[in-house]
């Protein structure tokens, strides 16, 4: 302590309060020299007396602030506002160079003419507060990082005895689920509550209130209405952390369960549709079975009438028409029975490796009278057809139906072409015709039962069940039937079945 200390310039005397303040107090020149320091500031900087500190400090900006630019901010505040309040800075303890955090307050001291004599202010160490704040920020950052990995909304909330909600923390998932920014939820703790569906809100609130009274876990599923009008289902789970006089602290998780609810609704609708479908199929089967017996009797008696050589020509025409109509009705009954069994899965298949040519020959033999009546020519595949796996009876039924349609709905003197190809693990059999074709609206209804696309008003007879039944058979054998039609250019039906490997 041999250094000579220059006495400060004449200034208003410092009060006893200046010396006795529990926080550091000082006077300094605008250019950064220390003029006065109370005992608390001396101790803060690691010195034993005021004179020692003043002698050691030559430039506050360079020697005290970790960031020298902070001194300039300090001076600008004084110049523009005349005071500094609660300026937080990181500084060095002058003697040990230990870095600490302080909060500064200061004002200008002027003479009678308004000239600035010095700065006067206080310094309070807040290192513990800053350390706590930084720890909280790190904890919050870690919590945000963890919360980002959790689907939905993670939150920590305080609920007052009056029911006021304030979020202490809420994850960014609230933006995706609710369409609400986390900052808004932190400002307005009731924003999520207001988005509950009106029909669910009272029930959810009742459950929460009971959970708060019993300090228990609350789990509920309910709907929310987002600001864009969209509806979502959420599952909310919350547990109490601790209870204080000013209310409860709860943490919780809210997840989106919309997909599950939609899947449940679809599953229920599907189950109802399947139940109705099976009921209808069963009813059709029973009705068809009951019709078949009397229809066979009617056809038998009509055939007996036609066998009578004494039957008058006029009556014979009536009997012929009755026989034709009866056979048509019996075919419809048979198709209904087949369709009912196919749709209910009650059909027996004998799948085996087949040569498609055999089924094609049999089908062509069955439609030969149609070919002659319509004068339609059939082009067969030029090379051997790939072997496939199918039920022989059902394959013949499908091919017969496709060929029959291609002939019946063709132009007189038209053509039908049959082709086959191997496509990976599948074999495709295609039946094309040069008929009038179908438009897009008609194609959309092709495979619907009883749909004849207006042909019922013409002279071509049919039940409207052939294609629907053929597709059922194809799918039961592991394949399908598709169609491509062009108005004025005909249709192309492709039967796909598993190939024999």
Which CATH number characterizes residue 173's domain? Answer: 3.30.450.20
* 231-244 β-sheet, strand order: 165-170, 153-159, 247-256, 231-244, 218-225
Q: Is residue 46 part of a domain?
A: yes
Residue 5 within any structural domain of the chain: no
Percentage of the chain surpassing pLDDT 90?
38
What pLDDT score was predicted for residue 15? 53
Is pLDDT larger for residue 472 or for residue 150? 472
Distance from C-alpha of 72 to C-alpha of 79, rounded to nearest angstrom: 10
Query: Token digits for 120?
Result: 């006067």
Q: What angle is formed at CA 125 by the lines to CA 122 and CA 130, rounded to 5 degrees? A: 130
Looking up tokens 């304030």, which residue turns up?
A: 166
Q: Is residue 393 pLDDT above 50, yes or no?
A: yes
Residue 8 within any structural domain of the chain: no
Q: What is the mean pLDDT of residues 362-373?
A: 88
| CA pair distance 218, 150, nearest whole angstrom | 19
pLDDT (average), residues 400-409? 89
Is 137 a domain residue?
yes
Give per-residue burial for 144-157: e unless 16+ CB within 10 Å, then b.
eeebeeeebbbbbb
Contacts of 242-246 spanning 24+ positions with Cβ under 8 A: 243/215, 246/158, 246/160, 246/161
- Would you say residue 468 has pLDDT above 60? yes
- List the structure tokens of 464: 């409207």
pLDDT digits (tens, 9 = 90+) for 233-265: 999 999 888 777 778 888 889 999 999 988 888
pLDDT on residue 37: 93
Positive or negative, the CA dihedral 344, 350, 355, 357 is negative
Specify whether 317 is located in the same domain as 201: no
CB contact at 8 A, 402 and 366: no
Signed CA dihedral, 386, 390, 392, 395: sign only = negative
Shared domain for 365 and 433, answered yes or no, is yes
Q: Are residues 334 and 363 in the same domain?
A: no
Question: Is the alpha carbon torsion for 9, 15, 20, 24 positive or negative?
Answer: negative
Residue 290 is part of a domain; what is its CATH number?
A: 1.10.287
Q: Same domain for 366 and 469?
A: yes
Q: End of a domain among 98, 125, 152?
A: 125
Average pLDDT over residues 352-362: 92
On whether both 362 and 485 belong to a single domain, the answer is yes
Q: What is the CATH number of the domain that holds 378?
A: 3.30.565.10
- Count of domains in the chain? 4
Q: What is the pLDDT of residue 346?
A: 65
Among 46-60, 199-213, 320-334, 352-366, the minimum mean pLDDT is found in 320-334
Looking at per-residue pLDDT, the higher value among 62 and 360 belongs to 360
Is 70 exceeded by the pLDDT of residue 344?
no
pLDDT surpasses 80 at 414 = yes
Residue of 4 and 22 predicted with greater confidence: 22
pLDDT of amino acid 367: 87
Q: Answer yes or no: is 7 within a domain.
A: no
Whether 105 and 27 map to the same domain: the answer is yes
Residue, of 218 and 279, whose pLDDT is higher: 218
- Which one of 110, 125, 140 terminates a domain? 125
- Residue 4, domain member (yes or no): no
Residue ranges in 28-126 assigned as alpha helix (H): 39-44, 50-56, 60-63, 69-81
Boundary (domain end) residue, out of 303, 319, 343: 343
Q: Is the pLDDT of residue 7 over 80?
A: no
Residues 367 and 492 in one domain: yes
Per-residue confidence (pLDDT) for residue 417, from 0 to 100: 93
458 pLDDT band (50/70/90 cuts)?
very low
The overall pTM is greater than 0.75: no
**Domain for residue 2, yes or no?**
no
> Residue 165 forms beta bridges with which residues?
159
If asked whether residues 338 and 388 sit together in one domain, one would say: no
- Is the pLDDT confidence value at 443 over 90? no
Which run of H or E residues covers position 108? strand 99-110
* 459 lies in the same domain as 486: yes
Specify whether the CB–CB gap between 173 and 259 falls below 8 A.
Answer: no
Q: Is pLDDT at 452 greater than 70 in this prediction?
A: no
Instruction: Report pLDDT for 133.
Output: 83
Mean pLDDT of 107-121: 90
Closest CA to 499 of 420, 387, 398, 394: 387
CB distance 156 to 249 below 8 Å = yes
d(CA 371, CA 97): 109
Q: Are 203 and 105 members of one domain?
A: no
Question: Residue 337: is its pLDDT beyond 80?
Answer: no
Q: Is the pLDDT of residue 118 over 80?
A: yes
Enclosing domain of residue 333? 262-343
9 within domain boundaries: no
Q: Are 493 and 364 in the same domain?
A: yes
Could you tell me which residues come within 8 angstroms of residue 162 by beta carbon, excluding any fewer than 6 positions away? Answer: none
What pLDDT, on the 0 to 100 scale, is given for residue 48? 93
493 shares a domain with 361: yes
pLDDT confidence of 432, banded at 50, 70, 90?
very high
List, in sequence order, every residue forming a beta bridge with 34; answer none if it has no partner: 28
CA gap 471, 465 in Å, rounded: 10
Q: Which of 356, 411, 416, 424 is nearest to 387 (CA)?
A: 356
Transcribe 211-277 into DSSP letters: HHHHT--EEEEEEEE-TTS-EEEEEEEEEEEEEETTEEEEEEEEEE-HHHHHHHHHHHHHHHHHHHH
Please tell me the number of Cα atoms within 13 Å of 153 on its side-chain side: 26
What is the predicted pLDDT for the residue at 369?
A: 86
For residues 463 and 473, give the distance between their C-alpha atoms in angstroms, rounded to a whole number: 17
pLDDT higher than 50, residue 392: yes
CB 92 within 8 A of CB 98: yes
Q: Is 234 exposed, middle or buried (0-12, 13-18, 19+ CB in 10 A)?
A: buried
């Amino acid at each position: 302590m041999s250094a000579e200390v220059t006495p400060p310039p004449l200034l208003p005397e410092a009060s006893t309060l200046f010396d006795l303040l529990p926080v550091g107090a000082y006077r300094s020149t605008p250019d950064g020299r220390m003029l006065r320091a109370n005992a608390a500031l001396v101790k803060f900087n690691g010195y034993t007396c005021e004179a020692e500190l003043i002698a050691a400090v030559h430039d506050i900006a360079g020697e005290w602030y970790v960031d020298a630019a902070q001194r300039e901010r300090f001076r600008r505040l004084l110049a523009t506002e005349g005071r500094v309040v609660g300026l937080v800075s990181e500084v060095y303890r002058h003697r040990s160079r230990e870095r600490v955090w302080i909060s500064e307050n200061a004002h200008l001291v002027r003479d009678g003419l308004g000239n600035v004599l010095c700065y006067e202010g206080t310094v309070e160490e807040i290192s513990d507060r800053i350390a706590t704040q930084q720890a909280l920020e790190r904890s919050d950052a870690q919590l945000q990082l963890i919360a980002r990995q959790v689907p939905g909304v993670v939150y920590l909330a305080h609920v007052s005895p009056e029911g006021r909600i304030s979020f202490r923390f809420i994850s960014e998932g609230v933006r995706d689920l609710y369409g609400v920014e986390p900052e808004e939820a932190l400002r307005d703790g009731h924003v999520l509550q207001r988005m509950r569906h009106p029909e669910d809100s009272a029930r959810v609130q009742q459950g929460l209130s009971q959970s708060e009274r019993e300090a228990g876990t609350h789990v509920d599923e309910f709907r929310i209405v987002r600001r864009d009008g969209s509806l979502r289902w959420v599952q909310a789970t919350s547990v109490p952390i601790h209870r204080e006089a000013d209310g409860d602290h709860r943490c919780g998780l809210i997840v989106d369960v919309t997909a599950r609810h939609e899947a449940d609704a679809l599953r229920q609708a599907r189950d109802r549709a399947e139940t109705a479908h099976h009921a209808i199929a069963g009813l059709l089967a029973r009705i068809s079975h009951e019709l078949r017996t009397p229809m066979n009797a009617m056809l038998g008696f009509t055939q007996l009438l036609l066998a009578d050589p004494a039957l008058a020509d006029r009556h014979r025409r009536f009997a012929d028409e009755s026989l034709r109509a009866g056979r048509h009705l019996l075919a419809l009954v048979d198709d209904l029975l087949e369709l009912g069994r196919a749709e209910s899965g009650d059909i027996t298949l004998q799948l085996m490796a087949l040569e498609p040519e055999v089924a094609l020959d049999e089908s062509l033999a069955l439609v030969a009278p149609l070919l002659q009546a319509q004068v339609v020519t059939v082009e067969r595949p030029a090379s051997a057809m790939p072997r496939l796996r199918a039920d022989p009876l059902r394959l013949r039924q499908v091919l017969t139906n496709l060929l029959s349609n291609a002939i019946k709905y063709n132009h007189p003197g038209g053509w039908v072409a049959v082709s086959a190809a191997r496509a990976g693990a599948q074999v495709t059999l295609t039946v094309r015709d040069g008929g009038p074709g179908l438009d897009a609206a008609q194609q959309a209804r092709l495979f619907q039962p009883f749909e004849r696309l207006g042909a019922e008003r013409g002279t071509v007879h049919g039940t409207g069940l052939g294609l629907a039944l053929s597709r059922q058979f194809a799918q039961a054998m592991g394949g399908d039937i598709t169609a491509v039609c062009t108005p004025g250019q005909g249709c192309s039906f492709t039967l796909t079945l598993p190939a024999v490997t």
